[in-house]
Homo-oligomer: A and B are copies of this chain.
Amino acid sequence: MTARAHPATIADVAARAGVSQASVSRVLNGKPSVDPEIVRRVRRAVAELGYAPSMAARSLVHGRNQTVAMVVPDLGNPMFQGILEGVSVAAAVDGYRVLVADTVERVDDEEATAVEARQRCDAVVLCAPRLPADRLARLVERIAPVVVVNRQGDVPDVPSVGVDYARGIRDLVGHLVALGHRDLVYLSGPGSSRSNADRLRGIDDARAADASLRVRVLDGGSGLDDGAAAVDAVDAARRDGATAVVAFNDLVALGLLTALRRRGIDVPGELSVAGFDDIPMAAYAAPSLTTLSVPRAELGAQVWTRLRGLIAGEPVAHAVTFRPRLEVRESTAAPR
């Protein structure tokens, strides 16, 4: 077994099998009508040489990579992890792999990252919740084919898959109102984030539909720490009459829950708390968290379906929006 310094090439295989490179190529790509005898010899040579085709060469010829990029603002967020996993698994079935490009919340070079990622891949999945719509619009046409996540309506003619945050919030508020709450707090997410804007729209809709409803909007964030840090403001609102709080997402709600517990404020006795996303931990919190469930994996799968279509040159598919499902748990109850 002589080890070669450089990996075997198709030429080596051809020589070893005593056939032409073209034949080897045909066999390897399963082209029909190749003499069985040739097939056998080629397969043997391939095995003996431990030959593996060069992806680089193949990419150059085909103009395709079999790789897509997924740019995310923060890999630490369970939401994006879920989508990544969904896309990753779905794409793998079609022989595609996914490259992750974590912009680490640096909105400023999100465009550069996306463009760079596109150069190495056949397409990109863009999660850019904070990129202003006009910049987003310019970006997507530079990096097509692309599908955007949670930017429905911001970029016409670009496939988009996302969550109906406004709808989810309305459902949630409806649940709280039904319990008897009239004075709510919305603990907002990152100010510039599109999905936060969507949630705010849901809040506004709810307010418009019910004049007796009061909702105070407090600054929050998107992580556990942000939720905990908001406890002062939340408690102040509570003493001023608020009876329930809707957090930007589960992480924030969980952080708040802990801070409230430390302060001795009973949830849901003295204050109801709800989140968004239904991350695995939500059901395990104390009290378990009322939240809105979003199908992360399925969302990822849908993203891939659209991306694959685009790569294949199919027309832009319709946008899909998942309606969150209200998951009522212990953290919300009727106010005292």
Contacts and interface: CB of A to CB of B under 8 A. Distances in A.
Contact of A56 (B63, B223, B285): B63
A225 B280 CA distance: 9
A84 B56 contact: no
Given A55-B119, A75-B85, A97 B104 contact: no
Interface in A66-98: 66-67, 69, 75-76, 81-82, 84-85, 88-89, 92, 97-98
Contacts of A55: 119-120
A36 to B, nearest CB: 26
Interface stretch (A160-168, A183-191, A199-207, A253-261): A253-261
Count of chain copies: 2
B75 A84 contact: yes
A100 interface: yes
A52 B100 CA distance: 21
A255 B284 contact: yes
A296 B97 CA distance: 24
Interface residues of A, number: 46
Given A89-B104, A286-B286, A67 B99 contact: yes
A102 B85 contact: yes
A125 to B, nearest CB: 13
Contacts of A63: 56
Interface string A271-303: 000000000110011101000000000000000
A281 B258 CA distance: 10
A286 B224 CA distance: 14
Nearest to A101: B97
A57 interface: yes
Contacts of A120: 55, 66-67, 97
Interface of A: 52-57, 59-60, 63, 65-67, 69, 75-76, 81-82, 84-85, 88-89, 92, 97-102, 104, 117, 119-120, 223-224, 228, 254-255, 257-258, 261, 280-281, 284-286, 288
6 contacts: A66-B120, A76-B82, A76-B85, A224-B281, A254-B284, A258-B286
